[in-house]
Amino acid sequence: MTDQIDLFNASGIEVTIPPKDFNPADIPTSAQVPIPPGTYKSLDPLAAHCKSCQRCDLSQTRTNVVVSRGSRTAPIMIIGEGPGQQEDEQGLPFVGRSGQLLEKILASVRIDSEKDVYICNIVKCRPPGNRNPLAAEINACRPYILEQIRLVNPKIILLTGATSVKGIMPHEKRGITKIRGQWIEWEGRQCMPILHPAYLLRNPSREKGKPKWLMWQDIQTVRAKLDEILAE
């Protein structure tokens, strides 16, 4: 498993490049074999692979694999932690209460969730009882999210909550409340950790300094960066 993580940690570690005639359909979905960057030519074979994936035990309890929604050419990628009950039932990310709040947050700064955003999760199968995904589950699923990032090629990545930060930046030790709202350059992309919408649902106050107020500051910063990018 450590080998697999290293293969996908693109920070100076040599990575395996798949041969030209390589067919991702030949990768056994039941084993944690490496899936090197460049494995998938497009998001369709990646999604097909995810749908038959059994790289971890979440495959035993899921109803649907939840791969993504939104635009495949979006400038912004939003990465959540993992599907909840509604997402597991519908096979789409952020369609439950957190998702509805996320839609409102985006709409408040005129970010169109169909056109401007690609939404996905660190783990693609629901952890039972909505527990946090285990490190082994995050690691098993990491090749997929790294391939989604490579193929969508977003300029901006929003990491919602601590699990999302852990999935993309395993070496980041600072807590989410310390780093939220800050741009962190990762693999040439502008990443911003933001609070998870579920946390806002549990803390509904709009008072200055409270989670909803902080989110309002952060989403305006994101809007400004998007405007900058669109003007380039």
CB nearer ligand URA, residue 121 or residue 139: 121
Which residues, 6+ apart, have CB-to-CB distance to 143 below 8 Å?
Answer: 4, 8, 34, 35, 36, 39
Distance of closest approach, residue 1 Cβ to ligand URA, in angstroms: 23
Buried b (16+ CB within 10 A) or exposed e, 37-51: bebbeebeebbebbe
Question: Rounded to an integer, what distance in angstroms lies between the CA atom of residue 87 and that of residue 94?
Answer: 6
Residue 185: count other Cβ atoms within 10 Å of its Cβ. Answer: 8
Which residues, 6+ apart, have CB-to-CB distance to 69 below 8 Å?
Answer: 92, 93, 94, 95, 118, 119
Distance of closest approach, residue 7 Cβ to ligand URA, in angstroms: 25
CB nearer ligand URA, residue 39 or residue 160: 160
Distance of closest approach, residue 100 Cβ to ligand URA, in angstroms: 10
DSSP labels for 160-186? ESHHHHHHH-TT--S-HHHHTT--EEE
Asked if 80 is part of the footprint of ligand URA (rule: CB under 6 A), the reply reads yes
Scan residues 99-138 and list those touching ligand URA (CB under 6 A).
Answer: 99, 121
CB nearer ligand URA, residue 188 or residue 204: 204
CB nearer ligand URA, residue 39 or residue 163: 163
- Sketch the per residue contact string, 83 through 102, with ligand URA: x for CB under 6 A, - otherwise: xx--x-----xx-x-xx---
Which residue ranges make up the site for ligand URA (CB under 6 A)?
A: 80-84, 87, 93-94, 96, 98-99, 121
